[in-house]
Amino acid sequence: MIKKHIIPCTVILTLLVMAQVFAYTLPTVKKDLKNNNLTTIKKEAEEPAFTLAQLEFAEETLPLGDTRINSKMKRILASYGYENLQTNRLHRKAAEWFPIIEPILAAYGIPNDFKYVPLVESGLQGGTSPKGASGYWQFMPGTARTYGLKVNGRVDERQNLRKSTIAACKYIKELYGIFDSWTLVAAAYNVGDVHMKRQINKQNQDNYFKMKLNRETGGYVYKLISMKEILENPQRNGYKSQKAFIAYVAPTTATVE
């Protein structure tokens, strides 16, 4: 009889012990899940949403609150998205060109963002323009010779990336001495310093974004900003193939004669 009573008691005691274990374990699991959810939500909340205020060229930002400027920036940036522009080729060119361009810009004290000029100037189309501009930096023959490049029937140093970048740096540095603004320098690189000075005086305005310029020059800095954005942040601009992205390591120092 005693054995008959012992077995049920043992089973009951076992069930009671198991109930106590689950009673203390389950709330802990629930609490951990709750904490994990809160952590995830907190992380998502901490990640800032992309805004046009984050875009800049050589640390010069777009004027805030200007509807016309914002609309223009959105439109040009959208045109540079992966769906409209095959950026694989641009990434390859950046990987090839930037390690040569970047240290030369640094040696001349030119903002690193000017490395996007050759991609906008020649990376998209290439070749020689109808007006005669050619090479990585799209120099006109006369301007190229002014800044030390050989351009004749036998040699065209506009096609030499290193030499043409040095010439471009000399020109850009000279432009900065005139305009004291990197966005105006970029615009003047596109249209010429004489035309830019004339427009600044005529409009009594020295903020590139607020000036009324011809279509090409008026969109030039916006194109540079867009090129910078799609190359530095490919994923948020529709660039789908991470494997196709070619990373590059830029030299940190350089001596340029």
Give residue-wise pLDDT tens across range 177-214: 999 999 999 999 999 999 999 999 999 999 999 999 99
pLDDT value for 127: 77
Percent of the chain scoring above 70 in pLDDT: 69
- Taking the model in full, what pTM does it have? 0.76
Residue 233's pLDDT is 85
Torsion of CA 168, 174, 178, 182, to 10 degrees: 40
Question: What CATH architecture is 64-237?
Answer: Orthogonal Bundle (1.10)
- CA dist., res. 245 & res. 92, Å (int): 8
Burial 232-247 (b: 16+ CB within 10 A, else e): eebeebebeeeeebee
The residue type found at 191 is V
- % of the chain at pLDDT higher than 90: 56
What pLDDT, on the 0 to 100 scale, is given for residue 225?
Answer: 97
Question: Greater confidence, 214 or 238?
Answer: 214
Q: What is the pLDDT of residues 1-33, one digit of tens each?
A: 544 555 555 555 555 545 554 444 444 444 444
Q: What residue spans define the domains of the chain?
A: 1-47, 64-237
Structural contact between residues 122 and 135, judged by C-beta atoms closer than 8 angstroms = yes
pLDDT band at 244 (very low <50, low <70, confident <90, very high): very low
Could you read off the pLDDT of 100-152 as tens digits, one per residue? 999 999 999 999 999 999 999 988 666 788 889 999 999 999 999 999 999 99
Q: Check the CA dihedral 167-217-70-73 and report its sign.
A: negative
Round the average pLDDT of the chain to a whole number and report it: 81
Residue type, position 195, single letter: H
Residue pLDDT, tens place only, 41-90: 444 445 467 788 899 999 999 998 899 999 999 999 988 876 666 667 78
